[in-house]
Amino acid sequence: VGKRSKGALISIFLDTGNTPLWRRLGDSIRAAVTQGVLAPGARLPSARSLAADLHLSRATVEAALSALEEEGLIVRRIGSGTFVSTSAGRDVMPAAPAPNQRAPTPRPTALSERGQRLAVSGAPVLPVTRGAFTLAPPSDDFPHTTWARLTARCLRDHGSTLAQEDDAQGYLPLRQAIALHLRTNRGLKCSAENILVVSSTQEALILCAHAFLSPGDEVWMEDPGYPGAFAAFRAAGAQIIPIPVDSEGLRIEDGVRAAPRARMVYITPSCQFPCGVTLTAERRLALLQWAEASGALVLEDDYDSELRYSGLPMAAIHAHDFGGRTLYAGTFNKTLFPSLRIAYLVTRPEWVRELVAVRSNFGGPPASSVQATLAAFLGEGLLGAHVRTLRARCEERRETLLDAVSRELGPRMDLRAGATGQHAIGWLSEREDDRAVSLRAAAAGLDVPPLSRYVLVHPQPPALVIGYASASPAAIRAAVRTLSRCLPAPGAE
C-alpha cells in the first residue's frame, strides 16, 4: 500500500476495474453533474486541491479535466477557475417551461469548494431502485401499535419534561437501557456514562473521524469496505490504508505491515461489510494486542450483530478491550426501522464528554420524546422479542434466496450468505463483468450492486451484493428469475 493505492482510493465512488484513474475521475465528475450535485455554472475545485484531496497526482487530475473540457462538460478560464459548462447536465434539467412561465436561469452553486467535494463524496444522490434485493431491513414486523402506545404514554406522563429535556449526551433512561442491553447481549462492560446517543452510525463515524483524527493520520479500512466509513474518514482528511479481507475477516498482519503506526482501525467484526464474514477470535486478539502496543484506536461498527443464524454470537471486540482503546458503534436503525435515527457510541466516559462538546458544533441528540419511547420499548423487553421475530423473518428469506439461486442460477452463481446479517454475496463466473450484470439487473428493476463498487484497491472476483431481508419469499423467487435473465444462459459464453 503506497502512493499508487492512495491514488486509487477514489475508486470507491467509481467503477473499478481496468479503467485508467484519470478516466474514472472524469466519470465521477460527470456523474456529479448529471445527478445534479454540481449545477451548470458551478465552480470546480482547483486541479491542485482536487489532487491533494483525492490523493491523486496532478497529472491524473489534469488528464481528467482536459478530457471533460474537450467533451464540453467543463470550461476552464485562466485566472478565474474551472466551471461546469452552463449547457451541461441538460438531460437532468427540468422540462422546458410553459410559454407563460419564465425560464429559470441556471445559477452557480452556492456551495463552497469543500461543500462541493462533500456533496460528491457523500451518500448517493440518485434515488435507489427499491427492488427485492435492496439492502434494507424487513418492514413487516415492527410493532407500530405498541410503539404508538408507548409514545402516547411517554408524552402523557412526561410530555412537558420531555419537551424541555436537554441532556446533550442522550436521554439518561435510554442510555441506561442501552448499557443494560449491551452488557447482557454483547458482553460490553459499560454503564450510562459510557454511552453517547447519536442519530446514526454515520454520525458516530463522522464524529470519531473529526474528533480523533488529524489530516493525514492513517486509518486502516477493510477492503472491500463500507462507503459510509470511507466518506467519514475522507471528510476528515485522513489517509485511508486499505487492508484486505479474507474468510477470517480483516488481515491484521497485512495492516501491521502496511501501517504499523496507524491512528485508527475501522472494522465490522460481526458481519464484515460487504463480505459478511466474522472476524475470528485469534484476529480479534491480534488486533487488540497491536492497538494496545501502538496506541491505535479501534472503531468497531457492530451493525447487524444481533441477526446471527447459526453458532454462538461472538462478544464484541469492545468486550475484550481492557485498555479502553475501542470506540463501539451500534444502531437501532437496522433492527427497528431506518427512519428512527437512533444509534449509539460507547467509549470511555472522558471521551464521551469530549465528544458531546465536539458534537455541539453541528447538532445535538435525537428528539427526547423518541428517545423516551425507545427507552420504554427496551425497558419492557420488547427489543429482544422483536429481534427474535426479525431473525426468523430474515432466516426464512435467506433460505428462500439460497434455494431459489441454486434452482434457477445453478452453476452461474455461487451464493454465500454469512452466519450473520441481511445480505449475501453472489459470486459470478470469472468471465463475468459484475458491473455489466449489475447494470442489466438495474434496468430490470433490481438493486444488486457489484462487489467491485466497494473495492478500494484489492481486486475481488466478480460478484453481486444481494440483500435478502426486505422482500417476501415470493418476491425473492420472482427476483431470482429476473436475475437469471440478466446472466448468460447456462452453458452460453
Q: Work out which of 83, 220, 226, 266 binds ligand PLP, going by CB under 6 A.
A: 226
**Is 331 among the residues that bind ligand PLP (CB under 6 A)?**
yes
Under 8 Å between Cβ of 332 and 198: no
Nearest distance from C-beta of residue 137 to ligand PLP, angstroms? 9
CA distances from 294 to 212, 290, 291, 322, 415 (A): 15, 6, 5, 15, 39
Nearest distance from C-beta of residue 268 to ligand PLP, angstroms? 5
Burial class (CB in 10 A: 0-12, 13-18, 19+), 271: buried
Between 334 and 453, CB nearer to ligand PLP: 334
Between 135 and 355, CB nearer to ligand PLP: 135
| Residues in Cβ contact with 182 at an 8 Å cutoff, skipping those fewer than 6 apart | 188, 190, 316, 328, 330, 346
Nearest distance from C-beta of residue 33 to ligand PLP, angstroms? 27
CA 330/CA 199 separation, integer angstroms: 11
CA 379/CA 296 separation, integer angstroms: 35
Nearest distance from C-beta of residue 362 to ligand PLP, angstroms? 16
Q: Which residue has the cell 473540457?
A: 69
Q: Which of residues 121-160 bind ligand PLP (CB under 6 A)?
A: 135
Nearest distance from C-beta of residue 347 to ligand PLP, angstroms? 17
Stretch in the footprint of ligand PLP (CB under 6 A) among 138-146, 328-336, 362-370, 372-380: 328-336
**Is 233 among the residues that bind ligand PLP (CB under 6 A)?**
no
x/- string (CB under 6 A) for ligand PLP, residues 40-69? ------------------------------
Nearest distance from C-beta of residue 32 to ligand PLP, angstroms? 22
Between 11 and 202, CB nearer to ligand PLP: 202
Between 50 and 206, CB nearer to ligand PLP: 206
Q: Work out which of 212, 230, 266, 273 binds ligand PLP, going by CB under 6 A.
A: 273
Nearest distance from C-beta of residue 465 to ligand PLP, angstroms? 10
Between 145 and 339, CB nearer to ligand PLP: 339
Q: Which of residues 191-210 bind ligand PLP (CB under 6 A)?
A: 200-202
Nearest distance from C-beta of residue 307 to ligand PLP, angstroms? 12
Nearest distance from C-beta of residue 226 to ligand PLP, angstroms? 4
Under 8 Å between Cβ of 249 and 279: yes
Cα torsion for 469, 474, 478, 481, to the nearest 10°? 90
Stretch in the footprint of ligand PLP (CB under 6 A) among 14-22, 246-254, 331-339, 455-463: 331-339
Cα torsion for 63, 65, 71, 77, to the nearest 10°? -130
CA 273/CA 302 separation, integer angstroms: 10
Q: Work out which of 147, 230, 290, 303 binds ligand PLP, going by CB under 6 A.
A: 303
Nearest distance from C-beta of residue 203 to ligand PLP, angstroms? 7
Burial class (CB in 10 A: 0-12, 13-18, 19+), 414: middle
**Is 326 among the residues that bind ligand PLP (CB under 6 A)?**
no
CA distances from 30 to 120, 208, 229, 328 (A): 11, 31, 24, 37
Tell me the one-letter amino acid at 216.
G
Stretch in the footprint of ligand PLP (CB under 6 A) among 123-131, 160-168, 326-334, 370-378: 326-334
Contacts with ligand PLP: how many residues (CB under 6 A)? Answer: 13
Q: Work out which of 268, 278, 347, 400 binds ligand PLP, going by CB under 6 A.
A: 268
Q: Write out the residues near ligand PLP by the rule CB under 6 A.
A: 135, 200-202, 226, 268, 273, 301, 303, 331, 333-334, 343
